[in-house]
Amino acid sequence: MTTFDPYAPSRDTTEGKVFSVTGGDWDSLVQEIGATKEERVVVNMGPQHPSTHGVLRLVLELEGETITEVRCGIGYLHTGIEKNIEFRNWTQGTTFVTRMDYLSPLHNETAYCLAVEKLLGITNDVPERASVIRVMMMELNRISSHMVALGTGALELGAMGPMFFAFRDRETVLEIFEMITGLRMNMAYVRPGGVQQDLPEGAYTKIREGVKLMRKNFKDNATLLIGNSIWMKRTQGIGYLDLAGCTTLGITGPVLRSTGMPWDLRKVQPYCGYENYNFDVVTADTCDVYGRFLIRMNELEQSLRIIEQCVDKLEKLHGAPVMVADKKIAWPAQLALGGDGLGNSLDHIREIMGTSMESLIHHFKLVTEGFRVPAGQAYAAIESPRGELGASIVSDGGTRPYRVHFREPSFNNLQATPAMSEGGMVADIVAAVASIDPVMGGVDR
Amino acid sequence: MFGPKGTGDTSGYGGLVSKVITPGSSERPYGGYFDEVADNLERAYPEFSDAIERVFIDRGELTLHIKPEKLVEVAFILRDSLKFEMCMGVNGVHYPEQTGRELHAVYPLLSLTKNQRIRLEVSVPDSHPHIPSLVEVWAGNNWHERETFDMFGIIFDGHPGLTRILMPDDWKGHPQRKDYALGGIPVEYKGATTPPPSDRRSYK
């Protein structure tokens, strides 16, 4: 027996001997496990483990280094967002859904707003400029999300350089977000009926410069990883999932496209006017981690193309409204930058406080009580960076959602972990999970 | 803490109780590809009129209300004959005032081959919340059904391992049901106490 380790004791249970691992005790652990006769070892990976992509817990049954069974434990980040929304008005709902999948907040908001607009019957009344801004913001968000997927994915496989480049480029996007919405994440920028405010002065220039910079910078990661023999050995043929596996498991997004299926909701079921943009659906036919990696790399360029087209359109639409004309739905105040930071525009304050009693009542009713949404249910699906993000919303005709459910691609796609990793090596499950790119905020909601 | 109690209106301002009104059956023609879907299903499934309680079109979406005991049969036909290869999961909705059919399960289906979407809906009474599991039809429904069980207490018969998924294993109750309060804890700050969300007027 080895010396007693007070921080990593072992104890006998009915299921067998249980070892606690705290780090730095590898030698003593190996000795102790070697002393047992058991061939089969159950390893608990996570929920606090650097390579499980957030608070994901994986229970692995191992024989040697081969995984015989995987189970995922989730729920560690469950915050009851769907329940909470039922107690707020429809506009406040955006501030909740934006916090679900925290790497793609604008996709969550847009899916939610598209479903609410469907219930309100105003889908065609949303101004064109608002739709173009939504598309542009979503594509910027796709870049920032893919950057985390690529950077952390590479980091988890031991490549540190790509993460630095990825987070440098992500910063470019986040600065644009900060300029337009005031926030780097959880913006609540997309609102039922349009967007919260118009682009600030200088936004076109900043976005154009950002696109130019990113197009140049993306080459760094491409040269580091594409064709890199270590990277290819870690990713090629790993995490295999074919088309039949994807359809039965309901997998969408880059994982589905890595089977050669050109399924992208932006093309096949366009929303927000995606049919008016030129871009390609990126696919691969390898069904493995490398294919998904290549898809994400190439989707970056497609997103840049869409963003450039958006800026062109926005310049032509300069000054057009960004919110529906219906005053019973549109937020009454326009925000303006005052001396003390963001606030209501002084013109609006002057109107409601000084000149029009009716405006004051209208403002008060809409802000405190909110608008009513006709009863019924709607499902709106968009292509988030991880796959089909669907918002199922039920209204009872009141000022608050009756039920909001998000069909989260992370939640669904994480089910593919056993199919991708059982029979493989322990080290490969890290690559497989990274290629699914689950965001635990979205999984647990 | 403040205000009237028991009106059911959570906004605290309108004083009105709103009821969920589900639309009645739609009349043919349904429009778009919905007629084609209904025709094909009737042809492939002779018991159509017996198994499907209502077909309605609302906001450009087709919903088929199916009797719970026929769900698996219909699902197999939809998958194999009508090419709805994917089920985008299931979500529950709790309508306490619909006596005898309080709990609904909603399944959005997607056809990759035909680029179509439809929705299945099943309702069961609160006293007997049993729906056959669709995991054998679409394996991806596994976690979605566990989530719906966790949140609503709907029991999916035949599910390979129906346990809680988001809430802790020993949790009491099913949080997304309407009779489950929002809850929360009081917050104390600088000597003043803010009551838990459930007790605040604006959340009642």
- Sole residue written with tokens 């650097």: A50
Q: What ipTM does the predicted assembly reach?
A: 0.86
- C-alpha B81/C-alpha A248 separation (Å) is 15
User: Does B108 have pLDDT greater than 90?
Assistant: yes
Is some CB atom of chain A closer than 8 A to the CB atom of B31? Answer: no
Q: pTM of this prediction?
A: 0.89
pLDDT classification of B197: cutoffs 50, 70, 90: confident
Best CATH choice for the domain B34-173 from the list 3.40.50.150, 3.30.930.10, 3.30.460.80, 1.10.1740.10:
3.30.460.80
pLDDT band at A1 (very low <50, low <70, confident <90, very high): very low
Q: In sequence order, what E strands does chain B have? A: 52-58, 61-66, 86-87, 91-94, 103-111, 116-124, 130-132, 155-157, 187-189, 192-194
pLDDT digits (tens, 9 = 90+) for A168-227: 999 999 999 999 988 888 988 999 988 988 888 889 999 999 999 999 998 888 888 888
Neighbouring CB atoms inside 10 A of B40's CB total: 17
Is B115 an interface residue toward A (CB < 8 Å)?
A: yes
pLDDT tens, position by position, A360-408: 888 888 888 888 888 889 999 999 999 999 999 998 888 888 899 999 9
Which residues lie below 8 Å from residue A6, measured CB to CB, with a gap of 6+? Answer: none
pLDDT band of residue B1 (cuts 50, 70, 90) is very low
CB-CB under 8 Å, B140 with A249: yes
Q: Give the CATH number of domain A81-329+371-420.
A: 1.10.645.10
Contact between chains at A397 and B21 (C-beta distance less than 8 A): yes
* Lowest model confidence (mean pLDDT) among A306-315, B20-29, B50-59, B138-147: B20-29
**Which residues of chain B neighbour A84 with C-beta distances below 8 Å?**
182
**Cβ–Cβ contact B44 with A under 8 A:** no
Predicted confidence band of residue B4 (pLDDT cuts 50, 70, 90): very low
Q: Helix/strand/coil (H, E, C) string of chain A?
A: CCCCCCCCCEEEECCEEEECCCCCCHHHHHHHHHHCCCCEEEEEECCCCCCCCCCCEEEEEEECCEEEEEEEECCCCCCCHHHHHCCCCCCCHHHHHCCCCCCCHHHHHHHHHHHHHHHHCCHHHCCHHHHHHHHHHHHHHHHHHHHHHHHHHHHHCCCCHHHHHHHHHHHHHHHHHHHHHCCCCCCCCEECCEECCCCCCCHHHHHHHHHHHHHHHHHHHHHHHCCCHHHHHHHCCCCCCCHHHHHHHCCCCHHHHCCCCCCCHHHHCCCCCHHHCCCCCCCCCCCCHHHHHHHHHHHHHHHHHHHHHHHHHHHHCCCCCCECCCCCCCCCCCEEEECCEEEECHHHHHHHHHHCHHHHHHHHHHHHHCCCCCCEEEEEEEEECCEEEEEEEEECCCCCCCEEEEECHHHHHHHHHHHHHCCCEHHHHHHHHHHHCCCHHHHHC
Q: What are phi and psi of A30, to 5 degrees?
A: -60, -40
Cβ separation B11–A415 shorter than 8 A:
no
